[in-house]
Amino acid sequence: MIDPVRPTAPRLIRAAVLVTAALALAPLPGLAQSPPPKVTFPAKVPLPPPRPASLGGSKGPVVVAPPPAAATTAPALKPAMPAAPGPSQITPQMTNREIIERVNAALNAVPFMSADFTQVGANGKRLSGTLTVLKPGRLRFEYDPPATVNIVADGNQVAITDRKLKTQDLYQIGQTPLKFILKPGLDLARDTVVTGIEREKDRLTVNLEDKSTFGGTSKIALMFDPATLALRQWVVTDPQGYETLVRLENIDTKTRPENDFFVINRLRN
């Protein structure tokens, strides 16, 4: 991802790196469901006492209530078996290939999403903004002020626009890493090079290399919640060695964005 305030890298490389980082994001799976509440049933209700004969009524036989049963202690319940791992959970027994398959399924699970993001550039500068994705091929990645850059992909082209400089760079999606992230049926092992997987207690990291980036190979580290495989953050290392971290918050996978949110407003010279 480009740091919009860092002017040292050539514009073409910086633009490609920004697109790489922006589109390392994919939809998130839903939250794990809580277990159903425990239902308790009342003890057996005793029969009512017989109606006294002196009160009259039916001439049928008198029903005698059985003697109360001796109190017994209910047997202790056996502990419930632990639930089987859900489809997006990672277990220690899984191979790297199995983990990649689970990650692919999680990234492909939801066709749209939006989130707030915080970006930390190589110079320590913090920026924020909103990210919106609508598969296939559409994305809007917009920075809050004071940054003046936004990125829009309309399904065919990607536009990187600087409102302050009044410039706009257009690329075909096939010329950028967008083709790997926004196309249906993403397979990280097929569409990128998986260089390693790191398993930690509170984080799962998948390390990738993308050789299609302008200017050389970019390295991407995608970081997931190991319990739900929700993508929480990523780090992009551009071909020049600059690192950019992006962290996601307020993720929404329920509200579908409107199609006109991804229209490229082309600047006129």
Query: Domain coordinates of the chain in residue numbers?
Result: 11-29+87-256
DSSP symbol at 213: S
Give the pLDDT of residue 62. Answer: 41
Non-local (6+) Cβ contacts of 250 within 8 A are 115, 116
Report CA-CA distances (Å) from 22 to 45, 118, 178: 65, 12, 9
pLDDT in tens, 12-68: 445 444 544 444 333 333 333 333 333 333 344 444 444 444 444 444 444 444 444
pLDDT in tens, 170-205: 988 867 767 767 877 889 999 889 999 999 989 999
Q: Among residues 247, 238, 246, which one has the least CA distance to residue 215?
A: 238
- Going by pLDDT thresholds of 50, 70 and 90, the confidence category of residue 264 is very high
Asked if 264 and 159 touch (Cβ cutoff 8 Å), the reply is: yes
- Going by pLDDT thresholds of 50, 70 and 90, the confidence category of residue 148 is very high
| CATH number corresponding to 11-29+87-256 | 2.50.20.10
CB-hemisphere CA count at 13 Å for 87? 9
Give the pLDDT of residue 269. Answer: 56
Give the pLDDT of residue 9. Answer: 41
Report CA-CA distances (Å) from 34 to 29, 31, 84, 163: 15, 9, 14, 46
Give the pLDDT of residue 216. Answer: 79
CA dihedral 90, 96, 97, 99 (to 10 degrees): 20
CA separation for the pair 133, 152 (Å, rounded): 10
Looking at this protein, which amino acid is placed at residue 180?
A: F
Give the pLDDT of residue 247. Answer: 95
Percent of the chain with pLDDT over 70: 65
Displacement of CA 7 from its chain's centroid (Å): 32
pLDDT at 165 over 50: yes
